[in-house]
Amino acid sequence: MPTIVHSPVPGPGGPCPCGSGDVFTECCGRFLSGAADAPTAVQLMRSRYTAFALGDAGHLRSTWHPDTLPDELDLDPDVDWYRLEVVGTAQGGPFDRAGEVEFRAFYGSGGERGELHERSRFRREGRRWLYVDGDVDA
């Protein structure tokens, strides 16, 4: 089985880890840097996947709804996130107040491969989308 290695934050012209096909700085990079807020639930979910892939706990905490934000958030440096597949969405558009995104995120750890399948719930407060919670193995 090939070794799965994640690179550090992509350079200015590098592809976004979320797999959108867009350049990182024009995709999730602007959300992780705080230059912009994700306008839809799916874009926030993609940026949160990218934050997991890059080990950016600050972005994860800042986009987590305060009612469900855990006291501790420990990212495992031995987990390499290497692919995201958006399965479906329900609401979550720029004028919605709530939304759901179902996704599969693929990872490697300790020479083994795994998959996280989740249906995440999001809520928009003001202009910002926030992650509320999710059902794993949706």
Domains of the chain: 24-136 (3.10.450.50)
**pTM of this prediction?**
0.91
- Token look-up 């995440």 returns 120
**Three-class SS state of 24:** helix
Instruction: Tell me which amino acid residue 46 is.
Output: R
Q: Which residues pair with 103 in a beta bridge?
A: 86, 118
Q: Which residues pair with 124 in a beta bridge?
A: 129
pLDDT, tens digit (0-9, with 9 covering 90-100), for 93-118: 999 999 999 999 999 999 999 999 99
pLDDT of 62 higher than 80: yes
Query: Contact 117/101 with Cβ under 8 angstroms?
Result: no
Q: Please, what is the average pLDDT of the chain?
A: 92
pLDDT band at 13 (very low <50, low <70, confident <90, very high): confident
Q: How far apart are CA 117 and CA 85, in angstroms?
A: 9
Region for 78 from its dihedrals, namely left if φ exceeds 0, alpha if ψ lies in -120 to 50, beta otherwise: alpha
